[in-house]
Structure 1
């Protein structure tokens, strides 16, 4: 009898412990990837937009609405990307916490091109935004579930290292996506363009306008593609491009498909890094063909500057414009202009160049 009572107590305790696991619901695959990585070994967050529809056309069904209502944490992008979800949240707000990414003051949120009153919703195409979000999500999960803090910290470290590596690979390889004008059917890559110095010369459709096509804009972009000679035109997997043939008619453009929403990728912790790696390879593969051999960079392995496991005390490395590590001894007897930033370009990055130019002007140079 004593054994039976003990077993019953253990079973009840186990059920109670399991019920304390936060129920996390996430809107899109890139965000879900971060949460899935942080919750590895704890639970699987619920994904709403699984690739069968696009975020701006998504409306939760009855089962999804119930999951949202009972969520302890609801993570979504914002009304700019998910208007249908915004309406659902306004009608039936979850009983738990709601994290609206585009409302976060910690992120770099760009205005929509041509309409500064709106946000560009493709924030995840700058991997530094995702590193910031990873920290925010880790703090959120630890606050919600302190008993598993060590698990979240361990998973955070693994994810942070993975994201930092892909960011450095793209940062050091930025010359492979820059130096030649490229075109997008859907205007999805403003964040990527700014982060990695890519030159987007034109696009046809703004997705936050419902993918509607403006004829004048289409014809103007076609003229630019025609004038460019050889060029790259990027489309997005899962999105409609009914006027693609007209856009490239009579041009020498190469059409390359990207997958910025992760439509063709299996959801999970590895999705975001795979998405960025695949997109970068597709973009650079086309851009490199447009350049003379002398301007095509060799394969480059970035230095191992692993992200510190202590978020409050990150490590820093000083490098010159060629990516070589320097020390204080290198500064002796020389006039140096030192720029502090979060980038790690082996060359002078566009943002760094602008800051340096302003500093020199202030110094009277």
Structure 2
């Protein structure tokens, strides 16, 4: 056998070996996948467990998703507050994988569940102050709050934290750090991608704040209490929600209370979501007199491509602005 014949099989094997060094990453929801994909750009592609259009609150795993977890080196997920059924599956199927639980990442802004059918105006304004242009000056306060959150039971946390783009900035650096530790050969790529993403997200936050500046006194109702992080960051004022943050169906009493609120308050818009039945919104929309606009917190309507997380937040900001801005 010639020297070349002996060398050729080894040459073919080399790219396979190099490819195997890239961590196999699994994410829970599409917005998290978008962020991880941005950090891994040029190196690898993370897998997604929960398809857009499926509610994370009642997710049921398929065999192909179980296999992805079994093969994972790294699992990046929001946490059991969003997908309680996933906690046991990760422990059982991906017990040897590294986990990044994003709600536990240091400096993440965490907010408690909101109680009550109609949210208090004064407390909502108090939250809104954190979304003002001085949000950078509140960094120390936010870090303090994040640390406090570790001392409390996670059951009290609103899990929709990906709708705050400043949280996303924090997370991309944490994801890059973990990937760099697992795959030091590509650390420069991960770090560079995270820096680019972070700069994009900072610019996006400023643009969205400017777009929504004049909407802070406009009142609205949402289908699902999933937007507290977005509202708080950008100073918006919620009147009420049809569903609680955990997605529990509304009772007849809750629907009656919201209908009465709409009769007494100047509500400018009702926001629904693609995965929920719009007939419930129609039941309280004052015979169609109040505009109804669909929001998409998961990314159901995004058609692929780069910058998907940025597009998700930018589109949400535009949807809020379009529905809330004064007509005529």
- What's the TM-score, normalizing by structure 2? 0.83
Q: Is the alpha carbon distance of 1:90 and 1:14 closer, same or farther for their aligned partners in structure 2, counting shifts above 3 Å?
A: closer
1:162 paired residue number: 200
* Range moving further from structure 2, 125-134 or 7-16: 7-16
Deviates more, 1:34-43 or 1:49-58: 49-58
Give the distance between the partners of 1:90 and 1:230, measured in 2 at CA.
Answer: 45
Q: How does 1:46-85 map to 2 (within 5 A)?
A: 46-85=47-86
- 2: CA distance, partners of 1:238 / 1:273: 21
Runs of 4+ in 1 over 4 A off after TM superposition: none
Deviation at 1:262, TM superposition (A): 0.5
The answer to whether the 8 A contact 1:225-1:251 is kept is: no
Change (3 A) 1:193 1:84: same
CA contact (8 A) 1:234 1:255 kept: yes
Change (3 A) 1:91 1:15: closer
> Of Structure 1 and Structure 2, which has the larger fraction of its residues in helix?
2
Distance 2:186 2:103 in 1: 28
1:230–1:252 CA contact under 8 A, matched in 2: no
Distance 1:199 1:230 in 2: 10
Deviation at 1:288, TM superposition (A): 1.1
Partner of 2:277: 240
Residue 220 (structure 1) aligned to one of 246, 257, 266? 257
1:169-318 alignment, distance < 5 Å: 169-208=207-246, 210-229=247-266, 231-250=268-287, 252-267=289-304, 269-289=306-326
Question: Where does residue 176 of structure 2 map in the other structure?
Answer: 138
Higher relative contact order (Cα pairs below 8 Å, separated by 6+ residues): 2
* Deviation of 1:269 (Å): 4.2
User: Distance in 2 between the 1:249 and 1:171 partners?
Assistant: 30
Q: Does 2:121 align with 1:120? A: no
**Maintained 8 Å contact 2:105/2:174:** no
1:28-64 Cα deviation digits (max 9, x unpaired): 0111001111111111110111214211122221121
Structure 1 143/269 Cα, relative in aligned 2: closer, same or farther at 3 Å? farther
Q: Deviations over 1:204-259 (max 9, x none)?
A: 10141x43112222211112222234510111122234421221134731101111
Rounded Cα–Cα distance in structure 2 between residues aligned with 1:58 and 1:122: 15
1:126, distance to aligned residue in structure 2 (A): 0.9
Q: Structure 1: any 5+ residue segments left out of the alignment? A: 294-365
Structure showing greater Rg: 1
Closer, same or farther in 2 for the Cα pair 1:101/1:186, shift >3 Å? Answer: same
Higher deviation after alignment, 152-161 or 41-50: 152-161
Name the TM-score, length of structure 1 as normaliser: 0.75
Q: CA deviation at 1:152?
A: 1.2
Is 1:148–2:180 an aligned residue pair? no
Instruction: Give CA deviations for 1:157-183 in whole Å, capped at 9, x if unaligned.
Output: 322222122111012333133111111
Structure 2 distance, partners of 1:241, 1:87, is: 33
Structure-2 separation of matches of 1:65 and 1:185 = 31
Deviation (angstroms), 1:113: 0.6
